[in-house]
A and B are shown apart, each in its own frame.
Chain A
Amino acid sequence: MPNQFRADFPVLSREVRKGVPLVYLDSTATSQKPQSVIEAMDRYYQAHNANIHRGVHTLAEEATAMYEGARERIASFIGAASSREVIYTRNTTESINLVAFSWGRKFLKPGDTVILTEMEHHSNLVPWQMLAAELNVRLEFIPVDANYLLDLNVYADLLKLGPKLVSFTHMSNVLGTINPARQIIEMAHQAGALTLVDGAQSVPHFKVNVAELGADFMAFSAHKMLGPTGIGILWGKENLLESMPPFLGGGDMIKKVLLRSFQANDLPHKFEAGTPAIAEAIGFGAAVDYLNQAGMDRIEAHEREITGYALERLAEIPGLSVYGPALEHKGGVVAFTMENVHPHDVAQILDTEGVAVRAGHHCAMPLHQKLNLPATTRASFYLYSTQEEVDRLAAGLGSVIKMFG
């Protein structure tokens, strides 16, 4: 059955080189963009471009309505109680930094504990390391077990330290592990800790509802979910966001400014200083519309099918090892190594056959150290991925073996 989404993504019909069609298996790094997202941003620049808020002219009103309308749709996409809880940032990384900077500096004291996990992306490690160095905060890590899952028994022990925050990835960008977020959050709350969910890999790929999860904060990026780069979201419970001081200072985040003082604006604008990425927010709204129309349940089912097929095909390849949990715990990410061939060489040879995968540590160096691997090659899937593309990947890996075998 032909994939019904592919035709909506202009880049997917290009050839990498003459006669070599693109097989894009790097959606975990960034997704491709449908025509509707590209057009929404284009239309804004062609017909409505103006700065938002406070302008009284027609274009400014239109731009503001488009920008805020996107926020409303993003809020309802994740089940937020109100769009006041949805803060535009640059990306997941900035969202986590915002919490570390604003909430962390106000509420963490020397000796307090923050719990992270061994499978975090650098974006959910480094902000806390910086804070730990500054405030003498203690960092603890939920280990990854032999099945590539978080060890929740160790987590239960760590919670006895009385942590203030548990910040964890909903889905690993290397292993594909989908962590039991509800359980992790419930356990944290019983221990009196708040929770931050790194949703960079989960929100794009299956239905994530912050109310059902019971989370306190969640961060994610538009560009991994069919939207543009340069815009992401911090969602937080309203009372928490209200209790936090502003992050960056400047225009739009204020109600009133005197020479020596200011009064912060209401949510969500309190955390949005300066002219934001307006076209990108509008593009993000269009991306959410596309995902809603495609149906998150259908996307999840499709990716599970493709991932299962990929795992079968890769299992046929001699000397290839896959790193990640069983399919029932796994999203559409397959990291692997090949005997006697460096991951960069694998990726380079695949590229010559038009297959785009990623090689390296995927911004998760501590996880690779834990697995005792300098690097892995990673193929990842999205709603537009097909079995034929997995076949092209497998054929390319055959070429790798032929060359290096």
Chain B
Amino acid sequence: MDDLYREVIIERYKNPVYKGELDPCDIRFEDENPLCGDHIRIDLRVDGQGNVSEAAFSGHGCAISQASADLLLESIQGKSLDEVKQLNKEDVLDLIGIELGPVRLKCALLSLKVLKAGVYGVGGSSESLVEGA
């Protein structure tokens, strides 16, 4: 348990840094994990060079899904959209630093799925963008 609920997970869940909404924003996408009822929306602002200048997420979910969303958005600050497109499952697992079974993996990867679907601009068919999510 101590592994699964590392201090950073609990801390980010309780006090997320990137929770909120950006209005207006350049990219907005939302999706849910129907199994848990978790729901995440990500808003991005992109500067003239195509880099992420601001990011925020909203919605609700378990500690794993919320903390990984917060850590994920922190990691893409200032990154180009091309770099964001390259993010994968391992990057998120590195960020949260825990091993997850298949059920909780979906919680951790929901935000990545939403982010990539938003950046690729493909509503509704985001399943194929993140392996395992």
Contacts and interface: CB of A to CB of B under 8 A. Distances in A.
Q: Is the interface of B mostly helix, strand, loop or mixed?
A: mixed
Contacts of B104: 344, 348
Contacts of A73: none
A344 B61 CA distance: 9
A403 B37 contact: no
A243 interface: no
Contacts of B14: 340, 404
A317 to B, nearest CB: 19
Chain A contact residues (Cβ within 8 angstroms of B): what range?
10 to 19
B37 A345 contact: no
Contacts of B113: none
A359 B39 CA distance: 16
Interface in B29-65: 35-39, 60-64
A287 to B, nearest CB: 29
Chain B contact residues (Cβ within 8 angstroms of A): what range?
10 to 19
Contact of A349 (B5, B37, B61, B107): B5
> Which 10 pairs across A and B sit closest by C-beta, in order of nearness?
A374-B37, A352-B1, A342-B62, A344-B62, A375-B37, A345-B63, A345-B62, A344-B36, A375-B36, A349-B1
Given A348-B104, A349-B5, A342 B61 contact: yes
A344 B107 contact: yes
Nearest to B107: A344
B4 interface: yes
Contact of B10 (A352, A373, A403): A403
Interface in B60-88: 60-64
A375 B37 CA distance: 6
Nearest to A374: B37
Contacts of A344: 36, 62, 64, 104, 107
Contacts of B63: 341-342, 345, 404
A372 to B, nearest CB: 11
Given A342-B61, A348-B104, A374 B38 contact: yes
A349 B104 CA distance: 13
Interface in A346-405: 348-349, 352, 359-361, 368, 373-375, 403-404
Contacts of A343: 36, 62
B80 to A, nearest CB: 33
A361 B62 contact: no
Contacts of B64: 344-345
B5 A403 contact: yes
